[in-house]
Copies of this chain bind each other. A is one copy, B any other.
């Protein structure tokens, strides 16, 4: 998808998969950065946190999340890192016409993807963010990050609960692939709630199926991916992440 976006913009560039073993990461990445015609790297699990060490500077979301998924060489030779997972989610909401400003958001999952989404959503200034993760320490850490972005947001920590919520976001792995569970134990979802699921497979997830049956607007994980592509390519083209 990134290669296709490069070509759409007339850029002679390609993204190729590089399989790096954990024991090689620390020594291999600095050497990749020395390749004269390699101007960007994309990182995925489990390297998003470790990759920060290879950036000379971090974008505003990466600084708070503590992880990057893109690293770009600038004209002066410095490497800048940023995380676009959450930016992609926010972009998907924007493209679908759903504002986050002033809304009540229930966010399930505060791992890598959940943290990135939580920070990016916080930058849109919702009224309330209710956080849940099966590891309480993770949702507490995410709450602290959200407070750094916008101290005015009411942060709550509860079991998944839709009271006073306008937007439900699943960033947990519950419902992925063969997992038949819902990330929230409900029979139905009020039809005014916008439901987003970061999971790409299956498509739709059981959560999004339930939401659709209830008449809720939905945003799919695939739309987050699409939302992220253009932003990552902007970043590789030299655009600095909004501060």
Residues of B within 8 A of A16 (CB): 14, 16
Q: Is A37 in contact with chain B by the CB < 8 A criterion?
A: yes
Chain B binder among A20-28, A203-211, A233-241 = A20-28
Contacts of A24 in B (CB 8 A): 31, 34
A37–B18 CB distance below 8 A: yes
Mark contacts of A30-47 with chain B using CB atoms, 8 A cut-off: 1 yes-contact digit, 0 otherwise.
011011111000000000
What separation, in Å, do the CA atoms of A17 and B16 have in the docked complex? 11
A19 at the interface (CB under 8 A from B): yes
CA distance in complex: A32, B32 (Å): 8
- Chain B residues with CB under 8 Å of A18's CB are 35, 37-38
CB distance from A44 to the nearest CB of B (A): 14
Partner of A32, one of B14, B17, B21, B31: B31
A-B interface, 8 closest residue pairs, ranked by CB to CB distance from nearest? A19-B36, A31-B31, A19-B37, A24-B34, A28-B31, A18-B35, A16-B16, A21-B36
14 contacts between A and B (CB under 8 A): A14-B16, A16-B16, A17-B37, A18-B35, A19-B35, A19-B37, A20-B35, A20-B36, A21-B34, A21-B36, A24-B31, A24-B34, A28-B31, A28-B34
